[in-house]
Structure 1
Amino acid sequence: MDVRYALYDNTRFPEHLPYARCGHLFTVPGDFPEGIPPYAHVTSQEMAVYRVNGDWEVRDVNGERRVWGTGRRRKDAVNAAFAVIARERRIRAARITDRRVQVLGLEAACPYQVEITGSITLICTPTAIAVLDRTETSGDGPARHHVHDVNGGDPYVIRADDSVTERTTTAGVLHNRCGCAPENAARFESETQALVYARHALTVCHPCPKTPAATEPAPAAGERPDGTPGENAGPCAQCGCLLIWDRTGRRVNDEFGEYICTRRSAGTKSNIHLLAVPEPAEQH
């Protein structure tokens, strides 16, 4: 593991604490070691490594201030500390997983995760729509929005006034037992909780392409052919809302651009919008 050190001097720690007057600081990430499930990650630990009695010693700074490793060389002490931390964190993760399954009756990992993948703020005026880069405020005049055109081009400035509005769009992905483990995702035990969070926290939410339900063939039911992008595709078989063919012409979303079916009833098959099977023609 690549360890980055920062020097510290005799002003870093009070004299009564068990650290040498000078040494080095480094950080153990909260997601160390690899393979620890996200729900078992911890806060990153700041560590100090310093010489004492001719050897090197590693002690944590923010927690118990315990010694995690020693060695003749700094590298040996740090490696020993990482080995102990890795072992203890793996044991802790295994206990958390066992408690989830054996005591709480949950799945080993949180099945639903909502990941924010990006956001963009638009500055809208009666004559233009631009992408916000930064806003510069002034005590003696209106704020200045530094923007660039949605299709590229040189940056320019829009002065804030009553005709100027801001709109932030946040996009994200719903993971449903897909094997992904995004680091900063919100995690939920039930689909209802995940969908409520996605509707309130995101402007647009797409199902992860690795989600089993999302990889099923057809958004079109039965033998219905693919459609023309932007055209009406009919009602959702699960929630009844009007659907539109997306830009690929192979999938459908609602009028807000969402693929997730948030208003479906309990017991329905998929968490994405599905087209209703066309009514068969009457035989005369």
Structure 2
Amino acid sequence: MAVVTMRELLESGVHFGHQTRRWNPKMKRFIFTERNGIYIIDLLQSLSYIDRAYEFVKETVAHGGTVMFVGTKKQAQEAIAEQATRVGMPYVNQRWLGGMLTNFSTVYKRLQRLKELEQIDFEDVAASGLTKKELLVLSREKAKLEKTLGGIREMQKVPSAVWIVDTKKEHIAVGEARKLHIPVVAILDTNCDPDEVDYKIPGNDDAIRSVTLLTRVIADAVAEGLIARSGVATGDSKPGDKAAGEPLAEWERDLLEGDKTPAEAAEAETPAAKDEVQTSAETEKVADAEQAVAPAVVEEATGAAAVEPEQA
């Protein structure tokens, strides 16, 4: 069964690239065509690369690895936090601190400091043995640490792989991962450098729906890897399936409680959510082109998909 379908990618706008004047020539092989000054990404290639990334993440987690989710742009913050939390993985969705990977020993000390501050009862001044002013200072320190390090508070060592949304914006994170030889899995828009990414997924890294869909796919791969690691999954079982006669543990039920397929998630989405206002970055990118481009792309992409088996 496919990890994600062509229709789901089209409906999420994964095929929209950047304007033709803002591109990286190295991405030429992933471009399907150009419409109204907007590059259209080849979704047949995207499907293939999604499968590769999915298998890599699943196997990495199944063998005891962890995946750090990174995305600090506004369009990605909610999806990164939600999906990483769902599968119990560390994430960074506010600001990437330089040295978060390459100087993890120092970062780990700050994590320990955060845990110390979390033990203080800021409401009980008398029991704390501190003045109100001292408690206020510590409270502000705790809030600052929670904002920057809250997503990685349980991380004990550098991750086995990183999932990154927008490699241009997160170039520091990409650089640190490459320096430590940590595999990078990322969305590649038409303005990105594919040479920086180990497991690339050609797609739109600006649209909320696109980022949410692809981040959910990676989280599903993590969930399946966790189940395989615990020995619950058997054969070709998918996330959410359990071994015959063997009930899921409570933590596994919690983990998979919201583990719907992208299609199911779309059906459950309320009309208000479907009409969610796009950010300025999305609007600049697709507003003028979407109406004219989408019908042609659907026809061409689905036509190409139908012809592909005959060529093979």
Shared fold per TM-score greater than 0.5: no
Class of the TM-score when normalised by the shorter of the 2 chains: under 0.3
Higher helix share: 2
Task: Provide the TM-score with structure 2 as the length reference.
Answer: 0.17
* Structure showing greater Rg: 1
Higher strand share: 1
Task: Provide the TM-score with structure 1 as the length reference.
Answer: 0.18
